[in-house]
Structure 1
């Protein structure tokens, strides 16, 4: 009997997909928390949140990707770090509204599933979930031959958290005199990599395994530093203090992201000399002859999350963060402004 063309002949291997699920089941299970119902393999992930501690619980959702940092991972052939990035980009966003992240889902699309690469990515995702205290509730792996080139893939993440309605952080309570605190980034995080590749890989012709004296590591090692997950630092603060605003510094840098939480008529003034800018940003700027304003609207410049608090609790919040072995910088304040002035000003000063 004639066999005929199979789905595998077209580039989609169902058996390999099933093997992939079997490989990652135990890793996913390691992230499961109270509230998770069932395991991997269902048509949907089930989670039963405990609403008892909330008067009016509100679910907060966020989705994001890793951008062209994926290109660096593929060049270095190291794929676990971007799994951490994927989780970080999503949970940091919902944290910025005061939400406690509950669970995470991932989506991976590729031309042809490579089991070792896929397993490495999931290993990174589970590490990120553990750092954030969330359950990896499910995901989807799509083989799309003819759409993605061999060896390439794309990732997307989805996170859901919970916050009591009265505790949602929108920035609406921010007023003149409030203070800005900056939590340091671990490096570039997951934004601006198209510019990074344009300057360092294309213009300068550098390779990911080149050792860069100014960075004291290879280029690939620097560019693959994982995005920092701020949940362990910030959640305890939200339980003790009134944090009026939180900005996750991603694409658009401080000017765009801080502006999202500043009410009309107010201005955030940020002193760029109040923290040390990591060498990687100085290196990129010098190699690309990039204007400072362009750097600051593309990269985080060393500050990955900004908190807005009233001046009377400033020292307590800073002491609390430092007592847990974390760094924090007092980077500026909120002022009143006229209607024609910008919401965020970054300046050099004492």
Structure 2
């Protein structure tokens, strides 16, 4: 179940309709129901076309199926990465600085995306992984999972890895998408800072036993989800 919160100074019906349409599409992709929410007009809080948008989801889980399954994890388990669609709503403070420092405006053609403006390319909606991943979780093939959000590939993996283990990435096992190449080159951002700030092309990771890697990759690819082995668990 999903509920949303939409607040603005003065309600623009067309803008609100487009926002709710986008939320409904996200719910459809995730296989959940948009059951309600709140719309608030607060003239003293917001000005012009500003608005505030938030939401949360609620679900149920069978007892004993919680993830991560830390007790089951071991050195040698494999990290599978699912491709991202772009920055995924993270790192935009740094992105704004890079754009400001470049010779391009937000409406300019994106150097890394054909027939798209810089704003359109950098604000590509976050990929939703529920439908391809949920069957694998229900089949007991997944030991841990994490979205790569703020903190990038440095700070997020520890959330789904047992104490005494660490996710070790093979940084050459997938190509850095062009959007991140452009950000790194234009902003003069180091490899470490890129990995600490952005998902660098990996929007979601799964921890999988070596004997289940083939089945998991096959399930993801059959669902149309680009996925690849990008590392393994090692003793800390």
TM-score interval, normalised by the smaller of the two chains: over 0.9
1:138 aligned onto 2:36: yes
Q: Which has the larger radius of gyration?
A: 1
Pairwise CA distance, 1:109: 1.4
Instruction: Tell whether the 8 Å contact from 2:109 to 2:118 is kept in structure 1 after alignment.
Output: yes
Pairwise CA distance, 1:240: 2.1
Q: Look up the match of 1:184.
A: 83
Instruction: Tell whether the 8 Å contact from 2:77 to 2:210 is kept in structure 1 after alignment.
Output: yes
Counterpart selection for 1:284 from 183, 202, 223:
183
Post-superposition CA distance 1:109-151 (Å, at most 9, x none)? 1111111111100010011111111111111111111211211
Question: Which runs of structure 2 are paired with 1:166-245 in the superposition (5 Å)?
Answer: 166-172=64-70, 173-200=72-99, 202-216=100-114, 217-245=116-144
**Alignment gaps of 5+ in structure 1:** 1-102, 338-350
Counterpart selection for 1:310 from 192, 206, 209:
209
Q: Look up the match of 1:334.
A: 233
Q: What is the TM-score of this pair, normalised by structure 2? A: 0.95
Post-superposition CA distance 1:55-109 (Å, at most 9, x none)? xxxxxxxxxxxxxxxxxxxxxxxxxxxxxxxxxxxxxxxxxxxxxxxx1001111
Which one scores higher on RCO, CA 8 angstroms, separation ≥ 6?
2
CA separation in 2, counterparts of 1:232 and 1:257? 22
1:293 aligned onto 2:192: yes
Q: What is the TM-score of this pair, normalised by structure 1? A: 0.65
CA separation in 1, counterparts of 2:28 and 2:151? 28
**Alignment gaps of 5+ in structure 2:** none
Deviates more, 1:305-314 or 1:142-151: 142-151
CA separation in 2, counterparts of 1:322 and 1:180? 16
Pairwise CA distance, 1:323: 2.3
Pairwise CA distance, 1:275: 1.0
Instruction: Tell whether the 8 Å contact from 1:241 to 1:317 is kept in structure 2 after alignment.
Output: no
CA separation in 2, counterparts of 1:171 and 1:289? 39
Instruction: Tell whether the 8 Å contact from 2:141 to 2:216 is kept in structure 1 after alignment.
Output: no
Instruction: Tell whether the 8 Å contact from 2:81 to 2:205 is kept in structure 1 after alignment.
Output: yes
CA separation in 1, counterparts of 2:165 and 2:231? 13
Pairwise CA distance, 1:287: 1.0
CA separation in 2, counterparts of 1:230 and 1:209? 30
Q: Look up the match of 1:155.
A: 53
Pairwise CA distance, 1:205: 5.0
CA separation in 2, counterparts of 1:145 and 1:245? 44
CA separation in 2, counterparts of 1:128 and 1:168? 24
CA separation of 1:316/1:293 partners in 2, compared to 1, >3 Å: closer, same or farther?
same
Pairwise CA distance, 1:223: 1.5
CA separation in 2, counterparts of 1:111 and 1:269? 47
Over the aligned positions, Cα root-mean-square deviation in angstroms equals: 1.2
CA separation in 1, counterparts of 2:183 and 2:69? 33
